[in-house]
Structure 1
Amino acid sequence: MRTEGDTWDIVSSVGMTALFVAAIRAAETKQPDALVHDEFAALFVAAAGDPDTNRLIDDPELWADSPLGLGFMGLRSKFFDDHFRAATEAGVRQAVILAAGLDARAYRLDWPQGMVVYEIDQPKVLEFKGQVLADAHATPTADRREVAVDLRDNWPAALIEEGFDPARPTVWSAEGLLPYLPGAAQDALFARIDQLSAPGSSLATDTFGSDVDFQQLADFQTEQMRDTSFGKIDIADLLYTDDRSDPAEWLTKQGWTTKAAPPEELAARYDRPLTEVLEPYAQMFNGMKYLTAVKPS
């Protein structure tokens, strides 16, 4: 169970979910019609040393019946990649990746000259990530700056200490993050983003409906993934279902222009059809939205 102030590394608690997502991105990269190409994802999984997670890369059939096997992760990663590209094409030169996990966008995207990318996450997660990339002699394509801090703490102060400039437009991402935050922490997260965002800033995140039965979903997923490391984690114990503001409604009230797209819209946009989603995954998909928001100039 989650507790106030709990921490994790890459092979425990919330960190293990980041490793699992990296394995799915690595498997997606190997597909002939891959929506994303993440050459670093497999390195992270290999360095973690968990054989079951490595099997997810080599044997995609292990998760073929999961929504992750429907190209879900490819769609999600492509959505956030495009969000960053659109912002930089508009002239934004400052990015913040919240709960960066094993996201390697600072290395794999073609960033423009002068781009600064801030990655916020738990200290142990960033330490692991940095070591793997250093061992691989990887070079970031932007000025990458780590901000080792918990998002439940005073992360704006830590961000500014690393050189973040609130007076400049920023492109933000909160990918696969919100259910892992208590309701109060989520609301505080958006309030802080708003306070730190100059006009012309943008945000992308993914949201879930309030009626998702995460315990039912977790039980089903655990059974499906019982031969993998993900099957050893009760995902419902990692998520918070307490009351919180609807991100789109909250941002709209603050003057942001928002747009929400369901998974089916992304599938059509990227020409990656989704097959039928069975229960209990359907309840998650039906309430899922990919949200973009822009703070008017």
Structure 2
Amino acid sequence: MTDTAISRSALMAAAARAAHLIVDSAPYVFEDRLAAPLLGDAADELIDYHRQHGDHPVLSGARAQVLCRSRYTEDTLHRSGFSQYVLLGAGLDSYAYRATAGVRVFEVDRAATQDYKRAAVSKAGATSNAPEYVAVDFERDDLLSRLAAHGFDPQRPAVVSWLGVTMYLTREAVERTVSEVARLAPGSLLVLDHMLPEPDRDAAAQGYVAAVGAMTAANGEPWLSFFSPADLAALLDAHGLTAEHASQHEILGARTDALRPSNLTWMTRATVRP
């Protein structure tokens, strides 16, 4: 992936959210009716994979991952009552354009992804409730300083989502971001998903890794970090955050369509302690 290209994983995540409303059955796990418009010219091609092969374990597994993390995160935000929402690695997330008034949204990402998204938003005509676009080089920039420059209030608690990212980072990079989130106001919530290490995966999860892992690496986005719930809880605790976890099984429940939970990714919600 070059510095001027949008992440392939961001496109695939948006396609999974869009395809859920087409190939899966109600009740829907998560409804994002802006996902397809934000894909722009890539929408038909990416969604067609799901239309034609929606019950394939790789595609249904991808939908399960994306839907679980989106549902869990936005449920957390709505229950929190907080008025500041930060998306780290926002990709093509559409919350800002679906949200009701009262929540200020800060989308943190690479400048190239944000340029792509601005163009897609304009083409889709989604003009209300625009977020604050915060371009950050995670290797060089101080996250809180960049957020504050865009109007973020560090004295008030916030929900921070970090979805579909940790598996592409080294453990050191994950710790660095966690240490920055730990500087937020007490009570702030970090919501993230993480891939489980091989001993914790079930057969469906291991099959997904075998089928997809080499392809993601070839696309320039190799998986680098895997965390068990206990390992991640210890890492978060060391930086002053208290963690709780949720599995795909808890979020999806029993369904009659192709969506099946697996032990591939889990969700973690962590609270910044005083």
The TM-score normalised by the length of structure 2 is 0.82
Equivalent residues in 2 for 1:82-121 (5 A)?
A: 82-88=75-81, 92-110=82-100, 112-113=101-102, 115-121=103-109
Q: Which runs of 5+ in 1 are unaligned?
A: 224-230
Residues 159-205 of structure 1, C-alpha deviations (whole Å, 9 max, x = no match): 2221222111111011111011122211100001101x101211111
1:183–1:243: 8 Å Cα contact kept in structure 2?
no
1:218–1:235: 8 Å Cα contact kept in structure 2?
no
1:173–1:205: 8 Å Cα contact kept in structure 2?
yes
| 1:47 maps onto 2:47 in alignment | no
Equivalent residues in 2 for 1:267-282 (5 A)?
A: 267-268=252-253, 272=255
Distance in structure 1 (CA, Å) of the matches to 2:95 and 2:28: 16
2:71 aligned to which of 68, 78, 81: 78
Residues 81-112 of structure 1, C-alpha deviations (whole Å, 9 max, x = no match): 11111122xxx1111100000111111233x4
Pairwise CA distance, 1:8? 4.7
Q: Which runs of 5+ in 2 are unaligned?
A: none
> What is the root-mean-square deviation in Å for CA atoms of aligned residues?
3.4
Which residue pairs with 1:149 in the alignment?
136
Residue identity matched to 1:247? L
SS across alignment from 2:161: strand
Which residue pairs with 1:266 in the alignment?
251
Aligned length: 265
Distance in structure 2 (CA, Å) of the matches to 1:290 and 1:274: 22
Pairwise CA distance, 1:241? 3.9
Residue identity matched to 2:266? K
Which residue pairs with 2:159 in the alignment?
171
Describe the shift of the 1:35–1:215 C-alpha distance in structure 2 as closer, same or farther (beyond 3 A). Answer: closer
1:64 aligned to which of 52, 56, 71: 56
Describe the shift of the 1:272–1:258 C-alpha distance in structure 2 as closer, same or farther (beyond 3 A). Answer: farther
Equivalent residues in 2 for 1:138-287 (5 A)?
A: 138-141=126-129, 144-156=131-143, 157-195=145-183, 197-211=184-198, 217=208, 219-221=210-212, 234=218, 237-241=221-225, 246-268=231-253, 272=255, 285-286=262-263
1:255–1:296: 8 Å Cα contact kept in structure 2?
yes
Residue identity matched to 1:295? V
Distance in structure 2 (CA, Å) of the matches to 1:139 and 1:7: 27
1:98–1:175: 8 Å Cα contact kept in structure 2?
yes
1:200–1:296: 8 Å Cα contact kept in structure 2?
yes
Distance in structure 2 (CA, Å) of the matches to 1:243 and 1:109: 32
Which residue pairs with 2:31 in the alignment?
37
Distance in structure 2 (CA, Å) of the matches to 1:120 and 1:179: 18
Residue identity matched to 1:81? E
Pairwise CA distance, 1:21? 1.0
2:64–2:248: 8 Å Cα contact kept in structure 1?
no
Pairwise CA distance, 1:275? 7.1
Residues 47-83 of structure 1, C-alpha deviations (whole Å, 9 max, x = no match): 347x5324135x1525532242664432222111111
Q: Identity, % of aligned pairs?
A: 25
Distance in structure 2 (CA, Å) of the matches to 1:126 and 1:155: 18
Distance in structure 2 (CA, Å) of the matches to 1:179 and 1:198: 26
SS across alignment from 1:286: coil
Residues 111-137 of structure 1, C-alpha deviations (whole Å, 9 max, x = no match): x42x21100111111111111112222
2:198–2:206: 8 Å Cα contact kept in structure 1?
no
Describe the shift of the 1:262–1:242 C-alpha distance in structure 2 as closer, same or farther (beyond 3 A). Answer: closer
Which residue pairs with 1:126 in the alignment?
114
Distance in structure 1 (CA, Å) of the matches to 2:156 and 2:124: 33
1:256–1:295: 8 Å Cα contact kept in structure 2?
yes
Distance in structure 2 (CA, Å) of the matches to 1:258 and 1:274: 31
Residue identity matched to 2:168? Y
SS across alignment from 1:238: coil
2:5 aligned to which of 9, 12, 17: 9
SS across alignment from 1:169: coil
